[in-house]
Amino acid sequence: MTMEIFRERRSIRKYEDRPVEDEKLQAVLEAACLAPSWANMQCWAFIVIKDSAKRQEISTILGNNPSARAVAAAPILIVACADPEKSGKANEQAYYMLDIGIAVQQLCLEAFNQGLGTVWLGWFDEEKVRQALEVPDNIRIVAMTPLGYPARHPEFTGRRPVEESVFNEKWGNR
């Protein structure tokens, strides 16, 4: 079942004009909040936006492209935020990005499990989104995804063969 979810999940950029049931929304949010995190500090906060004018405003910030249009079209937009002070810093790596990454991916996989679509959106003007959603300056806006029923199941985007991604025993050894 898990492998099927990994194999069949797609980034969805076209959505049906159909609402999402509250129980399904709750399930995907719960999946996100069950994620592991640095010292279990759970640095995340998720802004759930249903208001179509607000989704349109965010869509305009994203520009004129398929993912921006998806933000306007899907019935829900979820914006994933992090408080970096509630996560670790080690080896010059900021672990709030990982905390949010895991949580958002859990959200996306549970959405697929519920028959819903998502698409990770990581590229946007953070300051404009901050203003639109009144996010405080100490909070980072890491990702967002539309949530809704997919209008189609896109083709697999493909991956490198596993052997190309794996070394044995030491770097470079295939």
Ligand X SMILES: Cc1cc2nc3c(=O)[nH]c(=O)nc-3n(C[C@H](O)[C@H](O)[C@H](O)COP(=O)(O)O)c2cc1C
Which of 40, 157 has the CB closer to ligand X? 157
Which of 42, 67 has the CB closer to ligand X? 67
Closest residue to bound ligand X by CB = 122
Query: Which DSSP state fits 115?
Result: T
Tokens, residue 143: 């990702």
Which of 42, 118 has the CB closer to ligand X? 118
* CA separation for the pair 136, 169 (Å, rounded): 45
Q: How far is the CB of 82 from ligand X (least distance, A)?
A: 13
Query: Which DSSP state fits 19?
Result: P
The window from 20-28, 30-38, 52-60, 120-128 that contacts ligand X (CB under 6 A) reads: 120-128
Q: Does 118 bind ligand X (CB under 6 A)?
A: no
Tokens, residue 53: 């004018």
Q: Does 14 bind ligand X (CB under 6 A)?
A: no
- Sign, CA dihedral 146-152-157-159, equals positive
Cβ atoms of residues 154 and 10 within 8 Å: yes
Cα-only R_g, the chain: 17
Q: How far is the CB of 10 from ligand X (least distance, A)?
A: 4
Q: Does 64 bind ligand X (CB under 6 A)?
A: no
Tokens 């906060």 correspond to what residue? Answer: 45
Which of 161, 172 has the CB closer to ligand X? 161
Q: Does 120 bind ligand X (CB under 6 A)?
A: yes
Cβ atoms of residues 38 and 95 within 8 Å: yes
Q: Spell out, one character per residue from 128 to 147, where the chain touches ligand X: x when CB under 6 A holds, - when not.
A: --------------------
Residues of the shown chain interacting with ligand X in the complex, contacts defined by CB under 6 A: 10-11, 67, 119-123, 157
